[in-house]
Chain A
């Protein structure tokens, strides 16, 4: 059974940093692309970033490019999102998801909540 478990969320001041983690089990982690998707309060889903299993390719939504960095550790079957220069509009529930091939996300975690507030 595939399980994705996010952690690292919390409350942070504007301009601050936070690092999210996603621990994967039950899938061949080093064969998957992995994504981060977020949902702001009362809003819809927004794709944030994804990364190829070997880390050689990374893509970001325009609103986070230059502030967020996605990475993986295949030895730990883990995905990360380093978030810097956080803004109030980054407040959201952040999900990690697995991408078995181009075009979709098959497994999702339960999410970790990030709140950016002074």
Chain B
């Protein structure tokens, strides 16, 4: 149950697009299309941004999109905005019916 691997930080200017990758194994990311992404401001409740790889909950901007290939998933934020600055975590449902989170990526809007 090792954490999924994410880059520690990603930055971009307003209006740009950034992509955060999430690498796991065939027992988690690669096993099912059960990858989700969360936006988190430390000390506050995490917010679900994407689920089932690329589905957006009601109220989440269509600037957020997701994809998966093999054991790697990605979150793309298009048209970066200052309010997007936060920590982002991927999560995958595993073949053991548990969950594993990614190491987290701090997104900075320059």
Contacts and interface: CB of A to CB of B under 8 A. Distances in A.
Contacts of A45: 38, 40, 46, 89, 91, 101, 104
A50 B57 CA distance: 21
A61 interface: yes
A47 B98 contact: yes
Given A35-B99, A59-B98, A106-B57, A47 B91 contact: yes
Interface residues of A, number: 25
Contact of A104 (B45, B48, B97, B100): B48
Interface string B26-70: 000000111110101011111110011000010000000000000
A105 interface: yes
A109 to B, nearest CB: 6
Interface string A19-50: 00000000000000001010100001111001
Nearest to B46: A108
B45 A111 contact: yes
Interface string B81-110: 000000101010100111111111000000
Contact of A50 (B1, B48, B99): B99
Contacts of A39: 42
Interface of A: 35, 37, 39, 44-47, 50, 57, 59-62, 93, 95, 97, 102-106, 108-111
Interface of B: 1, 3, 32-36, 38, 40, 42-48, 51-52, 57, 87, 89, 91, 93, 96-104
